[in-house]
Amino acid sequence: MTKTIYNTTILPGENKVIKLPIGSLPTGTPIKIPVYVFNGKEDGPTVLLQGGLHGDEINGVETCKRMLVNEYFTNVKKGCVIVIPLLNVYGFIHFSRDLPDGKDVNRSFPGSKSGSLAGRIAYYHTHEILPHVDFGIDFHTGGAMRSNYPQIRYTPNCSESNKLAKVFNAPIQFESNLIKKSFRAIAEKQGIPILIYEGGESMRFDELSINEGIRGALRVLAKYGIIDTHSLATKNKNKTIYLTDRKWLRARKGGIFTSNINNGEGIEKDQVLGYITDAYGNRSTVVKAPFDGYVFCINNHPLVNQGDALFHIGVRT
């Protein structure tokens, strides 16, 4: 199907890169967001693959980049693939989740053409990209040094996103409520289901997360006949673990935190998960599992303050 994005026409069978002019740096350097469009010859669903909504979450940027470099979409069979490897260019060049003014693009949808930088990015996305999209996958990582084990978050009471999550086949998945003014909330409001993929932590590559992200995306695209089945899109040997009753385990005391377990591991009630000590070895606080479950996020920052998140854990359904 012919598409028009920012005054550019993309005919069936055509691939084009469109650059959305978001604004400029204080130096006057223009800032544009490249949008890669791979339009199939036959009609079919249009899927959005997107990274870097948070500028420092570079695993998502790398995931999209590798899919482009490996030319997975140059011969789209039907439908269309839209790839935005890096949405928040400003955050990316500032090594930051947010914009220079502290605003979060993912809390600025649907945006405003004359608003803050975050609002402008959201505006162009909402008006130029979203109207074309049938469903999407938004690639994220844990914030700061909190590392997420590869996981899919999908919208409660949305059978289509539940179905997409199953096809994606991430190691871990769970329902996650919509956040007001987030990209996913605005998309879902328009009937566009969005999967949130989370893998690794900000400003650090994690090969497992990047690879699981690519494999999941290819599974989804192959399932809908958008691309041919790919050797990377085979099912995961271990079945997806479905989690419920998630809980952050927080530091009862501040100090130096060491974890005893690996991300993604199953844990038993009262198992020792880690320790918080002082800098001299005089004091040690044990961190124990409050229930049987799975760890799907670990704080990799060795220094923690009282109340800081240490582990995110969930119960298997």
Is residue 153 at the binding interface for Zn ion, with CB under 5 A as the rule?
Answer: no
Q: Report CA Rg, the chain.
A: 20
Q: Which is nearer to Zn ion, 46 or 182 (CB)?
A: 182
Is residue 184 at the binding interface for Zn ion, with CB under 5 A as the rule?
Answer: no
Residue 289 identity: A
Binding mask 5-44 for Zn ion (x = CB under 5 A): ----------------------------------------
Q: Least separation, in Å, of the C-beta of 12 and Zn ion? A: 34
Q: Which is nearer to Zn ion, 153 or 215 (CB)?
A: 153
Q: Which is nearer to Zn ion, 39 or 173 (CB)?
A: 173
Residue nearest to Zn ion (CB): 140
Locate 288 and state its tokens.
């124990």
Q: Least separation, in Å, of the C-beta of 290 and Zn ion? A: 26
Q: Least separation, in Å, of the C-beta of 11 and Zn ion? A: 34
Q: How many beta carbons lie within 10 A of that of residue 45, not counting itself? A: 17
Q: Least separation, in Å, of the C-beta of 169 and Zn ion? A: 21
* Exposure string over 75-113, b if 16+ CB within 10 A, otherwise e: ebebbbbbbbbbbbbbbbeeebbbbeeebbbbebbbbee
According to CB under 5 A, which residues from 229 to 248 bind Zn ion?
none
Q: Least separation, in Å, of the C-beta of 132 and Zn ion? A: 23
CB–CB of 111/121 below 8 Å? Answer: yes
Q: Which is nearer to Zn ion, 39 or 209 (CB)?
A: 209
Question: Which is nearest to 86 in space by CA: 144, 134, 19, 24?
Answer: 19
Q: Least separation, in Å, of the C-beta of 22 and Zn ion? A: 19
Q: Which is nearer to Zn ion, 164 or 196 (CB)?
A: 196
303-304, strands of its sheet edge to edge:
284-288, 272-277, 255-259, 303-304
Binding mask 49-68 for Zn ion (x = CB under 5 A): -----x--x-----------
| DSSP secondary structure, 209-270, as one string | HHHHHHHHHHHHHHHTTSS---GGGSPPSSPPEEEEEEEEEE-SS-EEEEESS-TT-EE-TT
Residue count, binding to Zn ion (CB under 5 A): 3
Q: Which is nearer to Zn ion, 54 or 132 (CB)?
A: 54
Is residue 140 at the binding interface for Zn ion, with CB under 5 A as the rule?
Answer: yes
In this structure, the dihedral spanned by the alpha carbons of residues 294, 203, 19 and 44, taken in order and rounded to 10 degrees, is: -20
The footprint of Zn ion (CB under 5 A) covers 54, 57, 140
